[in-house]
Structure 1
Amino acid sequence: MRQCTATAEVPFAELLIAILAGQKRVLGEDFDYAPDTARCELGLWHEGGHAAFVWDWKQHKPEEGLWARWVTEGPMRFESLTWCGITDGPDGDEACTLYRHHAREHSWNVRDPEFEAFRRRVLAEHAGLLARLTRKPD
């Protein structure tokens, strides 16, 4: 299933308040990884609002992550949500990277259309090299 392509700007002040409310202390360099925009990580045609992972609590709350949630014509809110926990992905013990009780498909079934387009372009541009690299020895 394709990934939802809804995006929204992440309001920095509100993100900072949500992070400080959850872990009390943040270093300046921690914000090198704070997103400016969020892109919905749910499958296309999901129910309810959009959602994007924005902050890793690391050791503070390893069972949760901070998620941005929004609707198209509404403000963004931040919620600390428990990870999905389902681990029956196609590679055996791969865990779903979405939050618990998310809408529709698990993360391993959701394909980013931009990444897929990039993958197809690389394969097309380097088809000869890939064929040589994967050819069985004579």
Structure 2
Amino acid sequence: MYPPAALLFAVLAGQGRALSSQLEYAPLRVRCELGLWHEGEHADHVWDWPDGMAPPLWARWDTGGAMRFESRPWCETEGGPDGDACTLYRDHAREHSWNVLDPETESLRRRALAESAQLMKRLGRKRD
């Protein structure tokens, strides 16, 4: 018997079966990997099918929130700073993965800059 999440992934992606052990690293939430503040459809890699039985599974949704799951092959375009291949799906819109800002990292960077600016301002004040 399949756990509900495994069955849902298998049905939505058109696959015959998926075992709960294969879903151990499947995310519980999705976050767009195509960059910050972009127009159009969003996408997030969900997981890789075991033994390459199909291309990786991607969650895709529009601004209205309608989500679908698709098995799509990797982009594989090379050219990142370390010569790595793009980690998005083939024929994705917008930039390749090495040019995309991660929303959580960008948020943390902005918060750190703001906090360090406040700290520098306090340290720069004349002491009474």
Compute the TM-score of the two structures, normalised by the length of structure 1: 0.64
- Give the residue type in structure 1 aligned to 2:81: P
C-alpha spacing 1:74/1:116, structure 2 compared with 1 (3 Å):
closer
**Deviation of residue 72 (structure 1)?**
2.4
Gaps of 5+ in 2: 117-128
**Which of 67, 71, 76 is the aligned partner of 2:58?**
67
2:74 maps to 83
Alignment match, 1:105: 95
Confirm or deny that 1:36 pairs with 2:4: no
In 2, the alpha carbon distance for the partners of 1:111 and 1:48 equals: 17
Between the two structures, name the one with larger relative contact order (CA 8 Å, sep ≥ 6): 1
What TM-score, normalized to structure 2?
0.68
Segments ≥4 residues shifted beyond 6 Å: none
Aligned-partner Cα distance in 2 for 1:78–1:113 = 22
Q: Cα RMSD between the aligned structures?
A: 2.6
* Structure that is richer in strand per residue: 1
Give yes or no for contact 1:38–1:68 (8 Å, CA) kept in 2: yes
Alignment: residue pair count:
108
Cα 1:73–1:116 shift into 2, 3 Å: closer
Gaps (5+ residues) in structure 1?
Answer: 1-10, 125-138
